[in-house]
Structure 1
């Protein structure tokens, strides 16, 4: 009785889209298919896939469902389709785990670790003095932090812009010492010449890694950037399939890949990307500034992935001004962070219980999140 009979989609604050899938015996699985700022577009894609392929089908053959959703359309890939597939895939794994009474990581080969290290965001889109906040997070038990490197950047910016980025990282490093890791996110805001200058300038303060030093459409510049530093290079939050990641593995410039479990095809695809990364001696640190379902999917994959390095999570992140990760969980203790780690949930499926009544209540609110549009001094559009 594992035939899929119904599904619902819920747009909820602050900027998430939840998918509820139900089978004939009443079992419910949850997924998080979303492109931040494009939730309505992804909603339409999910509806096309569910109505066109999956309603009426059994849950069990997840790999075949993935192949059908991906290869069943002549035009493939991209953020919208892969995010729709990702959320559906998460829900299918949640259902399968619940039907078999096992967490997803057990179905993927079993645990490779006892707990997963997490990092905490400090600062916001426009990073200011972050030292005090960094100190507070370390006192709260986190051993790894993440901060944006800069605000908007010109293609070739002035020395003070580089100095400001260095000063921010230096202040955080001095506040927390050398026993704490600090990730610096370039957010794709830098051109190749600025990325080279910034990475070299930040190196004395030992970032754990620099994230997305250039946009993924300029990944061919990564070997040149890597040649200017010993700081590990990370990228991948805006890459959506193993075929895109294949290119960065082959050029050898990237040390950490960051596929997003709600964008890069879900559990099925990210587990394959992780295995490819392992073969190239590349670590994985899944991107996840999202909600509890996406985080649960990440932790399930981290649990059974030998080269998983650290996990992003969005508790108290600057985007979550109205509603936060734990608010949607019936038992928030499943994501209790201790000593900078989260335990691996051992409940069936994704290991979380969604508070469905709260989801329905929040879905009544208007959700209209869009990322800001930044502009340079001359009025041209800047990378956010």
Structure 2
């Protein structure tokens, strides 16, 4: 079996722009993957990197030799060593599509090829519900909605502010004044009052503040019973993360902007992080996250794959969720599909299975989802054969 064709899609879906890849073999089997660059800048760059990789290193190759092909891309593209999200998002999408092909060819889910399942369903936390909110009252009303749907864990961005476009904007220049700090505290206070004591709260501050300001604000939030603090500092500044961890009681989550097992090495050695959040779509792919999870187990850390993209990314995350012992919870965006220009990239949308805060693991071959050809075809960015 050989790979004969690649199609790259740059999709406009609501506020997101997921980058998808479809690989086709000479036996007619297809596999899909997603580059984890569905928000922020870089979607076009990731699509271009995918085109370069597929042209130079993927077409004509045996899709079953996944580790070999990924090693070739890492060793011989030059920029992968020490590289960042664009190169690893492309490698991740290719690697995921190869696993999807292999699973479909063998008529088995990917998790069965990685040791089998620990679980049939996974707990999820709701993200994305606070976009467009500004005041503590708006924040509290928005947070009550996912709880009413059955979610018992929420993640939010108390430092986020509404931009002119209506989207959320993070803190700039690592500084806030006293009024902004009070607003961030009061948002979480109002949310806690609205959802009650039994709902777990995760606060993502996106590395937005100085070390001292972060410690000061987290200590105020701790009176409100916070489950995790995510990205308390720039993920490259692991010394700051260690300092913050030594001064607060709330566990730290980190990892969506760290790439490959090499990138996670200092995180492990710091022993400052309780919950790792590698993104299968930008850290190297399914097997890379499996390896990172195994390393995390040695350091007594739990894993929550980061997902902020299309349903292909979620399907890939669920394969890992199923087969690692130290999985904790899965991120999801329950309201993403409500946006007017949302595109369902697959027919079997995993988020549709969410009930009472639990999501089902797909049981079909490969990723367990199939590309929605009619929906994604208009967004074809490039073809390589």
Taking structure 2 as the reference length, the TM-score comes to 0.89
User: What is the match of residue 151 of structure 2?
Assistant: 142
Deviations, residues 273-311 of structure 1 (Å, cap 9, x unaligned): 111111101111111111111111001101101111111
Q: Using the alignment, how far apart are the partners of 1:125 and 1:88 within structure 2?
A: 34
Deviations, residues 14-47 of structure 1 (Å, cap 9, x unaligned): 2111101000111111011242321211112111
The farther-off stretch of 149-158 and 255-264 is: 149-158
Q: Using the alignment, how far apart are the partners of 1:198 and 1:278 within structure 2?
A: 30
Q: Using the alignment, how far apart are the partners of 1:92 and 1:159 within structure 2?
A: 51
**Do residues 352 (structure 1) and 369 (structure 2) align?**
yes
Question: Measured at CA, do residues 241 and 333 of structure 1 come closer, stay the same or move farther in structure 2, by a change above 3 Å?
Answer: closer
Deviation of 1:229 after TM superposition, in Å, equals 1.2
Question: Measured at CA, do residues 126 and 276 of structure 1 come closer, stay the same or move farther in structure 2, by a change above 3 Å?
Answer: farther
How many residues matched?
361
Deviation of 1:89 after TM superposition, in Å, equals 0.6
**Do residues 44 (structure 1) and 43 (structure 2) align?**
no
Q: Which runs of 5+ in 1 are unaligned?
A: 365-384
User: What is the match of residue 78 of structure 1?
Assistant: 84
Question: Measured at CA, do residues 225 and 317 of structure 1 come closer, stay the same or move farther in structure 2, by a change above 3 Å?
Answer: farther
Say whether the 8 Å CA contact 2:36–2:280 is kept in structure 1.
no
The structure 2 residue matched to 1:123, chosen from 126, 130, 145, is 130
User: What is the match of residue 164 of structure 2?
Assistant: none
Deviation of 1:160 after TM superposition, in Å, equals 2.4
The farther-off stretch of 72-81 and 148-157 is: 148-157
User: What is the match of residue 276 of structure 1?
Assistant: 295
User: What is the match of residue 371 of structure 1?
Assistant: none
Deviation of 1:249 after TM superposition, in Å, equals 0.9
Q: Using the alignment, how far apart are the partners of 2:350 and 2:285 within structure 1?
A: 24
Q: Using the alignment, how far apart are the partners of 2:277 and 2:132 within structure 1?
A: 19
Say whether the 8 Å CA contact 2:311–2:349 is kept in structure 1.
no
Say whether the 8 Å CA contact 1:334–1:352 is kept in structure 2.
no
Deviations, residues 178-211 of structure 1 (Å, cap 9, x unaligned): 2211110101211212111121111111222011
User: What is the match of residue 104 of structure 1?
Assistant: 110
Q: Using the alignment, how far apart are the partners of 1:243 and 1:203 within structure 2?
A: 32
Deviation of 1:153 after TM superposition, in Å, equals 5.3
The farther-off stretch of 253-262 and 39-48 is: 39-48
The structure 2 residue matched to 1:297, chosen from 313, 316, 322, is 316
**Do residues 60 (structure 1) and 60 (structure 2) align?**
no
**Do residues 310 (structure 1) and 329 (structure 2) align?**
yes
SS at match of 1:32: strand
Say whether the 8 Å CA contact 1:261–1:286 is kept in structure 2.
yes
Deviation of 1:323 after TM superposition, in Å, equals 3.9
Deviations, residues 252-282 of structure 1 (Å, cap 9, x unaligned): 1111111111110110211111111111011
Q: Using the alignment, how far apart are the partners of 1:69 and 1:79 within structure 2?
A: 14
Q: Using the alignment, how far apart are the partners of 2:157 and 2:336 within structure 1?
A: 12
Deviation of 1:361 after TM superposition, in Å, equals 3.2
Q: Using the alignment, how far apart are the partners of 2:345 and 2:301 within structure 1?
A: 33
Deviation of 1:154 after TM superposition, in Å, equals 5.3
Q: Using the alignment, how far apart are the partners of 1:317 and 1:329 within structure 2?
A: 14
Q: Using the alignment, how far apart are the partners of 1:73 and 1:11 within structure 2?
A: 23
User: What is the match of residue 27 of structure 2?
Assistant: 25
SS at match of 1:105: helix
Within 5 Å, give how 1:333-372 maps onto structure 2.
335-363=352-380
Question: Measured at CA, do residues 266 and 13 of structure 1 come closer, stay the same or move farther in structure 2, by a change above 3 Å?
Answer: same
SS at match of 2:288: helix
User: What is the match of residue 168 of structure 2?
Assistant: none
Say whether the 8 Å CA contact 1:188–1:214 is kept in structure 2.
yes
The structure 2 residue matched to 1:285, chosen from 304, 309, 329, is 304
Q: Using the alignment, how far apart are the partners of 1:66 and 1:60 within structure 2?
A: 11
User: What is the match of residue 162 of structure 1?
Assistant: 181
Q: Using the alignment, how far apart are the partners of 2:134 and 2:326 within structure 1?
A: 30
Say whether the 8 Å CA contact 1:335–1:343 is kept in structure 2.
no
